[in-house]
């Protein structure tokens, strides 16, 4: 059931014990919006915790509350009044739904592909980040912004908007960020922490750029990592940004073989709706940033995604 922002605030206000979760492979928005909401609910005197069913990259240790994020455990289910799923539909949350016995389920998201499968769903595709919705909620509830909330919300805003450069950045995004600065955020402290990379990761970026391929007559660029390469490279998040900028490229793709028949795909575009390509394979996302998982061997997955991307490019010419 779709709910409004004020109904979302009312649902949060009426719960006392709240568990917050977000998508697997969590990014700055998943973690930032989760911790931001946790600090906000705690300031209102509620019991709130964050459970994420994945490893949390160490760069996010700059976020207050990073150390208290736990993994859900199906063998020891947690009881709660409300489970809040952030920055995804309810499906990409690992075992969290099974590990939390909650009376109510609320989903807050900014993805246009949200499947509206939760008991209550609030989706705002016009917001650059789920953290921007958490900011909106601070104005609906009797919350006094603290530095902890501001750092978490700012991180979500900044990471999902490419530090306020992507097309999803609005004046509202920047006003929200400005308010976070008024509450103690120092932008360079956060960006420097998030940009930190181990020496080996920088070398891996060099190797990945060497592997980049052009296809669809130069309108698409891809980096395709087989299982051995994926296992060897610890952090691959920055690869897609490196090939997105190639002149003439409309769609960039990075595909990683995680298992023998499981490949994770990330796509970025300069306008063509890549969420439609992702949806064809059960994934989702935004017009200019989307992803999906292909349950096939590396070579088949590579051929399948390249064909789908090429088709989308020719249809848009």
Region 59-118 residues binding Mn ion, contact defined as CB under 5 A: 87
Segment interacting with ligand AMP, rule: CB under 6 A, options 52-60, 95-103, 223-231, 288-296:
288-296
Asked if residue 81 lies in contact with residue 17, where contact means CB atoms within 8 angstroms, the answer is yes
Least spacing, CB of residue 290 vs ligand AMP, in Å: 4
DSSP string, 151-180: HHHHHHHHHHTTTTTSTT--HHHHHHHHHH
Which residue bears the tokens 């490279």? 233
If one asks whether residue 301 binds ligand AMP (CB under 6 A), the answer comes out as no
Helix (H), strand (E) counts: the chain? 12, 11
User: What does 285 bind: ligand AMP, Mn ion, none (CB cut-off 5 to 8 Å by kind)?
Assistant: ligand AMP
Give the Cβ contact number of residue 196 at 10 Å. 11
Which residue bears the tokens 């246009």? 112
As given in the structure block, the two tokens for residue 191 are: 């960006």
Residue ranges of alpha helices (H) inside the chain are 5-14, 28-43, 96-99, 130-140, 147-160, 171-182, 187-195, 199-211, 227-232, 239-244, 274-280, 298-315
Region 30-89 residues binding ligand AMP, contact defined as CB under 6 A: 88
User: What does 21 bind: Mn ion, ligand AMP, none (CB cut-off 5 to 8 Å by kind)?
Assistant: none
Please give the residue whose beta carbon sits closest to ligand AMP in the complex. 291
If one asks whether residue 158 binds ligand AMP (CB under 6 A), the answer comes out as no
Asked if residue 134 lies in contact with residue 155, where contact means CB atoms within 8 angstroms, the answer is no
Toward Mn ion, which CB reaches closer, 33 or 230?
33
User: What does 64 bind: Mn ion, ligand AMP, none (CB cut-off 5 to 8 Å by kind)?
Assistant: none
If one asks whether residue 222 binds ligand AMP (CB under 6 A), the answer comes out as no
Among residues 263, 299, 297, 268, the alpha carbon closest in space to that of 281 is found at 263
* Cα gap 239→110, rounded to integer Å: 24
Letters for 14-53 (x = contact with Mn ion by CB under 5 A, - = none) are -------------x-xx-----------------------
User: What does 292 bind: Mn ion, ligand AMP, none (CB cut-off 5 to 8 Å by kind)?
Assistant: ligand AMP
Toward ligand AMP, which CB reaches closer, 36 or 283?
283
Letters for 194-233 (x = contact with Mn ion by CB under 5 A, - = none) are ----------------------------------------
Q: Which residues bind ligand AMP (CB under 6 A)?
A: 23, 88, 92, 111, 266, 283-286, 289-293
Q: Which residues bind Mn ion (CB under 5 A)?
A: 27, 29-30, 87, 129-130, 160
């Amino acid at each position: 059931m779709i709910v409004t922002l004020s109904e979302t605030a009312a649902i949060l206000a009426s719960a006392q014990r709240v568990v917050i979760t977000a998508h697997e492979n969590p990014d700055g928005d998943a973690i930032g919006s989760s911790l931001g909401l946790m600090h906000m609910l705690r300031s209102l005197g509620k019991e709130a915790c964050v459970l994420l069913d994945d490893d949390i990259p160490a760069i996010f240790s700059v976020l207050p509350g990073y150390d208290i994020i736990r993994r859900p455990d199906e063998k020891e289910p947690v009881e709660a009044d409300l489970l809040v799923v952030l920055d995804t539909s309810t499906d990409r949350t690992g075992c969290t739904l099974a590990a939390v016995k909650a009376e109510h389920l609320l989903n807050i998201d900014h993805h246009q592909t949200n499947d509206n499968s939760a008991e209550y769903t609030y989706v705002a595709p016009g917001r650059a980040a789920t953290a921007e919705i958490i900011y909106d909620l601070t104005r609906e509830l009797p919350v006094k912004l603290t530095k902890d909330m501001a750092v978490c919300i700012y991180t979500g805003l900044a990471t999902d908007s490419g530090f306020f450069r992507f097309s999803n950045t609005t004046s509202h995004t920047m006003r929200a960020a400005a308010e976070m600065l008024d509450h103690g955020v120092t932008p360079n402290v956060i960006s420097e922490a998030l940009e930190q990379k181990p020496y080996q990761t920088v070398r891996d970026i060099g190797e990945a750029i060497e592997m980049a391929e052009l296809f669809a007559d130069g309108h698409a660029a891809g980096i395709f990592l087989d299982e051995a390469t994926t296992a060897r490279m610890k952090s691959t998040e920055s690869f897609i940004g490196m090939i997105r900028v190639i002149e003439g490229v409309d769609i960039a793709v990075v595909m990683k073989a995680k298992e023998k028949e499981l490949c994770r795909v990330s796509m970025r575009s300069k306008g063509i709706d890549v969420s439609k390509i992702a949806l064809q394979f059960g994934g989702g996302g935004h017009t200019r940033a989307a992803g999906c998982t292909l349950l096939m061997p590396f070579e088949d997955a590579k051929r399948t995604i390249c064909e789908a991307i090429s088709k989308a490019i020719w249809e848009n010419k």
